[in-house]
């Protein structure tokens, strides 16, 4: 690793003013599981690094029926996967967090880092897209809220400008009778990157699908929603046929590439299979959460 | 680049050091503190040979900057034996043939310790999962998992 200047500010304001003062090229450090690897092996040489570790504004998980869920950007995967409120009300988020890396990775890797790194395969992206998460960002220009759907621009690129910090994610309270599920395909059971990941969320207040979300990872330049598949599901009673149709449409909506992890055709087929499975998982959980 | 003062507690001992920000916790523990039990296999978080317990949580110290560990309480493999007696995990690794070349062993034992600290009676699958971030090129894992299961039973006695 090349030398760099290091700052560990104690407040968000201080962090933002360091970024403003030092200008372009600096990097924010969260858990370091992407950044330190890139600085060691990827040739990334930031002149300065700002650690987010002391910023209490970026920590914590809170929930209320009125306000919904708030997850601080510095929350690590192990904490998300084991949080009682997330497991009870947002199990799709626990699914994603529990799949990331190893015990060691999950203790270090943060949700903010996962999103800001903007890998197409990021395992928290489809789950958070499926629950309509909103990114709350602080920067030199003040605060702004960006729906996660608009957050990713390209592989490794987000709406964050130099000087911006992702502070937290806000998730609305799920309607009664909703359930979500995330799963991925990897050649190895643990410690692998998703070839395809699919998150699904359904709301079944009385047996019919009132609303559905299907979010896909690793099959396009950015994590994406399969809007047409969602539209097919909305308003229909749950059936094998409608799930199969939605899955087939999702696989057409995907824009996969071929790479070492799989060919485009294989990924399309995986989208179909995994969309079916995640929709079934979501329906089952919605049933369990219905009164 | 300027050095930053940090304070570490390592295996109960207090250390005050000045470190350059680009040095990892693994480098500093090995090269400054001369505790060379923790190994560098990959340097990129994939093999677990550098595993340490930092503030009660298992991490890959090759991906943690030493400056980020300022103020932390760190356990490494050197801290497990007590008054000349090996930790039950260490003894079980020897007794059950879970060590061959030994390169993965310090990290493997720290991962096993972190697992047993949080779950004293893991199932076979839970041990597999708890050690999934630790690679071993020699043993084939069976004996390692067996040793951890045995140590878990002994600690319960
Ligand atoms: C062994 C290993 C296994 C892995 N397995 C998986 C896996 O299964 N699934 C998966 O999705 N990922 C995996 N990863 C990748 C990585 O662990 C995750 O993407 C992780 O969530 C990144 O978070 P971090 O806190 O470590 O981010 P960092 O590395 O600290 O930061 C990543 C990037 O985001 C920026 N950033 C971080 N926080 C903020 C913020 N609050 N505001 C603005 N910018 C910010 C940083 O500047 C940097 O550019 C793995 C990595 C390793 C080393
Ligand atoms: S050396 Fe740290 S994980 Fe391999
Ligand atoms: S004993 Fe040689 S790598 Fe595990």
Q: Which of B79, B105, B138 is the last residue of a domain?
A: B79
Q: Are residues B95 and B151 in the same domain?
A: yes
Give yes or no: residues B104 and B146 share one domain: yes
Sheet with A165-171, side-by-side order of all strands: A61-64, A68-72, A165-171, A134-139, A142-147
Q: How confident is the model at residue B102 (pLDDT cuts 50, 70, 90)?
A: very high
Nearest chain A residue to B60 by CA: give it. A104
Alpha carbons A249 and A230: distance in angstroms, whole number: 9
Pick from A194, A209, A214, A199: which is nearest to A242 by CA? A209
Q: What is the DSSP letter of B138?
A: S
CATH number at residue B46: 3.10.20.30
Q: Give the nearest partner residue to A51 out of B68, B114, B133, using CB atoms.
A: B68
Residues B96 and B149 in one domain: yes
Residues B99 and B75 in one domain: no
Tokens of B33: 């503190």
Tens of pLDDT, residues A227-237:
999 999 999 99
B99 lines ligand 3 (CB under 6 A): yes
3-state secondary structure of A169: strand
pLDDT band at B111 (very low <50, low <70, confident <90, very high): very high
**How much is the average pLDDT of A152-167?**
97
Q: B64 and A32 in contact by Cβ < 8 A?
A: yes
Which domain-ending residue is among B79, B104, B135? B79
Instruction: Specify the pLDDT at position A271.
Output: 97
Is there an atom of ligand 3 within 6 Å of B102 CB?
yes
Rounded to two decimals, the pTM is 0.97
On whether both B46 and B11 belong to a single domain, the answer is yes
pLDDT of residue A105: 98
- Listed in sequence order, the residues at least 6 apart from A31 whose beta carbon sits closer than 8 Å to its beta carbon are A76, A108, A109, A110, A113
User: Which residue has its alpha carbon closest to ligand 1 atom 51?
Assistant: A33
Q: Which of B79, B105, B132 is the last residue of a domain?
A: B79
Q: Rounded to an integer, what distance in angstroms lies between the CA atom of residue A194 and that of residue A184?
A: 6
From the list B23, B51, B65, the residue facing A32 with the nearest CB is B65
**What is the C-alpha separation between A198 and A215, in angstroms, rounded?**
6
**DSSP state letters, A183-211:** EEE-SSSSS---SEEEEEEEE-TTSB--E
CA of B103, nearest ligand number: 3
Q: Determine the distance in angstroms separating the CA of B3 from the nearest CA of chain A, rounded to an integer.
A: 9
CA A194 to CA B83: how far, in whole Å? 46
Using CA positions, which residue lies closest to atom 4 of ligand 3?
Answer: B136
Q: In what order do the strands lie in the sheet with B73-75?
A: B13-19, B4-10, B73-75, B51-54, B57-60
Residue B155 pLDDT? 62
Where are the strands (E) in chain A, listed by range? 5-7, 27-29, 48-51, 61-64, 68-72, 134-139, 142-147, 152-154, 157-158, 165-171, 178-185, 196-203, 211-217, 224-225
- CATH number of domain containing B142: 1.10.150.120
Question: Ligand 2: does its nearest atom lie under 6 Å from the Cβ of B48?
Answer: yes
Nearest in space to A28 (alpha carbons), one of A149, A126, A121, A115: A115
User: What is the interface size between A and B, counted as CB pairs within 8 Å?
Assistant: 86
Report the domain count for chain B.
2
The enclosing H or E element of A94 equals helix A91-99
Query: What fold does the segment set A61-171 form as a domain?
Result: 3.30.465
Taking the CA of residue B74 and the nearest CA in chain A, the distance in Å comes to 14
Are B52 and B105 members of one domain? Answer: no
Please, which residues have CB within 8 angstroms of residue B63's CB and are 6 or more apart in sequence?
A32, A33, A36, A37, A108, B24, B44, B45
ipTM given for this complex: 0.97
Cβ distance A7 to A48 under 8 Å? yes
Residue B2 is predicted with a pLDDT of: 87
- Average pLDDT, integer, range B56-75: 98
Pocket of ligand 1 (CB under 6 A): A 27-35, 37, 52, 73, 99-101, 105, 108-110, 112-114, 116-117, 122-123, 160, 165-166, 191, 193; B 45-46
Comparing alpha-carbon positions, the chain B residue that sits nearest to A189 is B132
Which atom of ligand 2 is least distant from the CA of B48? Answer: 3
How far apart (Å, rounded) are the C-alpha atoms in residues A284 and A178?
A: 10
B142-156 and B105-118 helices, crossing angle to 10° = 40
Chain A residue with Cα closest to B69: A53
Q: Look up the domain containing B40 and give its range.
A: 4-79
Contact B31, B92 (CB under 8 A): no
Structure tokens at B152: 């878990």
Domain shared by B59 and B32, yes or no: yes
Chain B residues closer than 8 Å to A4 by CB: 1, 21-22
Residues B64, B96 within the same domain: no
Shortest CA gap B7–chain A (Å): 15
Q: Tell me the domain boundaries of chain A.
A: 5-51, 61-171, 178-285
Whether residue A36 and residue B60 make contact (CB cut-off 8 A), yes or no, is: no
Query: Residue A181 — φ and ψ, nearest 5°?
Result: -155, 135
Mean pLDDT for chain B? 96
Listed in order, strand segments (DSSP E) in B20-144 are: 51-54, 57-60, 73-75
Q: What is the pLDDT confidence band of residue A287, given thresholds at 50, 70 and 90?
A: confident
> What pLDDT is attached to residue A101?
96
Residue B29 has φ and ψ, to the nearest 5°, of -65, -40
3-class secondary-structure state, position B76: coil
* Architecture of the domain spanning A5-51: 2-Layer Sandwich (3.30)
Residues B120 and B61 in one domain: no
What is the CATH class of A178-285? alpha beta
Pocket test for ligand 2, best of B29, B42, B135 (most atoms within 8 A of CB): B42
Whether the predicted pLDDT of B109 surpasses 60:
yes
Question: Tell me: the pLDDT tens digits for A104-114?
Answer: 999 999 999 99
* Shared-domain flag, residues B72 and B113: no
Percent of chain A with pLDDT over 90: 91
Q: How far is CA A79 from CA A86, A118, A166, B53, in A?
A: 10, 21, 18, 16
What does the pLDDT look like over A27-83, one tens digit per residue? 999 999 999 999 999 899 999 999 999 999 999 999 999 999 999 999 999 999 999
The residues that bridge with A28 in the sheet, in sequence order, are A50
Question: In testing the pocket of ligand 2, which one of B44, B64, B137 has its CB within 8 Å of the most ligand atoms?
Answer: B44
Q: Are residues B96 and B138 in the same domain?
A: yes
Residues B121 and B139 in one domain: yes
Mean pLDDT value across residues A254-266:
92
Instruction: Report CA Rg, chain A.
Output: 19
């Amino acid at each position: 690793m090349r030398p760099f200047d290091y700052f560990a500010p104690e407040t968000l304001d201080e962090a933002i003013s360091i970024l403003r003062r030092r200008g372009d090229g600096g990097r924010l450090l969260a858990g370091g599981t992407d950044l330190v690897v890139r600085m060691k092996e990827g040739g990334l040489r930031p002149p300065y690094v700002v650690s987010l570790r002391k910023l209490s504004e970026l920590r914590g998980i809170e929930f209320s029926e009125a306000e919904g869920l708030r997850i601080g950007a510095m929350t690590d995967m192990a904490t998300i996967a084991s949080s009682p409120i997330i497991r009870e009300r947002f199990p799709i988020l626990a699914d994603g967090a529990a799949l990331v890396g190893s015990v060691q990775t999950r203790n270090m890797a943060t949700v903010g880092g996962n999103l800001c790194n903007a890998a197409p395969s990021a395992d928290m992206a489809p789950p958070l897209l499926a629950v309509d998460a909103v990114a709350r960002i602080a920067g030199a220009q003040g605060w702004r809220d960006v729906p996660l759907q608009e957050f990713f621009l390209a592989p490794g690129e987000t709406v964050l400008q130099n000087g911006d910090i992702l502070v937290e994610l806000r998730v609305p309270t799920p309607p009664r009778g909703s359930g979500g599920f995330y799963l991925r395909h990897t050649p190895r059971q643990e410690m692998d990157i998703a070839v395809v990941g699919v998150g699904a969320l359904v709301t079944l207040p009385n047996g019919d699908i009132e609303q559905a979300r299907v979010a896909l990872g690793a099959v396009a330049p950015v994590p994406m929603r399969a809007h047409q598949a969602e539209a097919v599901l909305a308003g229909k009673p749950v059936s094998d046929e409608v799930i199969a149709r939605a899955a087939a449409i999702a696989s057409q909506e995907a824009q996969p590439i071929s790479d070492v992890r799989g060919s485009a055709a294989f990924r399309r087929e995986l989208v179909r299979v995994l969309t079916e499975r995640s929709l079934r998982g979501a329906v089952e959980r919605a049933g369990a959460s219905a009164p | 680049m300027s050095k930053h003062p940090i304070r570490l507690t390592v295996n109960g001992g207090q250390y005050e050091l000045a470190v350059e920000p680009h040095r990892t916790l693994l480098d500093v523990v090995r090269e400054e503190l001369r505790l060379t039990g923790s190994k560098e296999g990959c340097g990129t978080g994939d093999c677990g040979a550098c595993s340490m317990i930092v503030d009660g949580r298992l991490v890959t110290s090759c991906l943690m900057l030493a400056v980020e560990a300022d103020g932390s309480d760190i356990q490494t493999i050197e801290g497990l034996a007590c008054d000349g007696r090996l930790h039950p995990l260490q003894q079980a690794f020897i007794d059950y043939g879970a060590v061959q070349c030994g390169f993965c062993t310090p990290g493997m034992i720290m991962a096993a310790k972190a697992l047993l600290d949080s779950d004293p009676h893991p199932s076979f699958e839970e041990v597999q999962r708890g050690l999934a971030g630790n690679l071993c090129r020699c043993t084939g894992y069976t004996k390692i998992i067996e040793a951890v299961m045995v140590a878990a039973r002994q600690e319960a006695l």
